[in-house]
Amino acid sequence: MIFVEWWVIERFCLLLLAVAIGSAAIWTVRKKRWFIRLPIQLLSGLSLIALFAMLTLVLSLPAANTYSEPIYSPNKKMAVRITEYNASGLGGADDTVKLFTSHGFSSDVVFFGDFNSIKPQNIRWKSDSELEISYEGALYQCNSSHRVKVVCSNRKGVQQGDRSPRH
């Protein structure tokens, strides 16, 4: 399985689409009368400048998410990956485990818990259809998907599977 970050490609295509629409609007009205051309070119130009300013701002902010390397199933058709979300001073920190299928086009969150509650070495594929997750701290969610049965167990011995307790 080739692991592709489709959301990155999607956002890049949306950015290209916005630039193309703004540029096409400026190009289309280039030979129109000034009272038609001027407002459209002004609005399109300002929106392109705002788009690039937002892009620069987003790229300069520190990333709140860190991702682990994918952990592939035995047949290499599925993978799971840990996402650590830490917004630092903005509040909130947690870990999720996502199950990716169909080369990343489809994904399901199978685990959601406290920050630093899970490490890659604590995720183990028992088979192509069963995943075992060992965690520390509070468990907020542990779900199976329609393709994979997920069993979550606390390293202190408490075992949970297919339950979604919320605190």
Query: Do 111 and 146 fall within a single domain?
Result: yes
Q: What pLDDT is stored for residue 2 in this prediction?
A: 61
Query: Do 74 and 56 fall within a single domain?
Result: no
- 40-83: per-residue pLDDT in tens? 889 888 888 888 888 777 767 666 778 888 899 999 889 999 98
Task: Show Cβ contacts of residue 150 under 8 Å, excluding neighbours closer than 6 positions.
Answer: 99, 110, 111, 130, 131, 132, 133, 142, 143, 144, 161, 162
Query: Do 97 and 41 fall within a single domain?
Result: no
Contact 26, 40 (CB under 8 A): yes
Residues of the chain with pLDDT > 70, as a percent, come to: 84
- 149-166: per-residue pLDDT in tens? 999 998 776 555 555 444
Q: What pLDDT is stored for residue 15 in this prediction?
A: 83
Q: Which domain holds residue 137?
A: 65-161
Q: Does residue 75 sit within a domain?
A: yes
Query: Do 44 and 83 fall within a single domain?
Result: no
Query: Do 41 and 101 fall within a single domain?
Result: no
Query: Do 147 and 74 fall within a single domain?
Result: yes
Q: Would you say residue 132 has pLDDT above 90?
A: yes
DSSP 135: E
Q: What pLDDT is stored for residue 112 in this prediction?
A: 92
Backbone angles phi, psi at 13, to 5 degrees: -65, -40
Contact 96, 114 (CB under 8 A): no
Q: Does residue 167 sit within a domain?
A: no
Query: Do 136 and 110 fall within a single domain?
Result: yes
- 18-45: per-residue pLDDT in tens? 888 888 888 899 888 988 889 988 988 8
The residue that leads in pLDDT, 7 or 136, is 136
In this structure, what token pair is assigned to residue 66?
Answer: 């860190």
Number of domains into which the chain is organized: 2
Residue ending a domain, among 17, 36, 60, is 60
Q: What pLDDT is stored for residue 74 in this prediction?
A: 93
Query: Do 81 and 45 fall within a single domain?
Result: no
Query: Do 69 and 150 fall within a single domain?
Result: yes
Query: Do 156 and 79 fall within a single domain?
Result: yes
Q: Would you say residue 138 has pLDDT above 90?
A: no
Helix (H, G, I), strand (E, B) or coil at 164: coil
Helix (H, G, I), strand (E, B) or coil at 130: strand
Q: What distance in Å separates the CA atoms of residue 134 and residue 121, rounded to the nearest whole number? A: 9
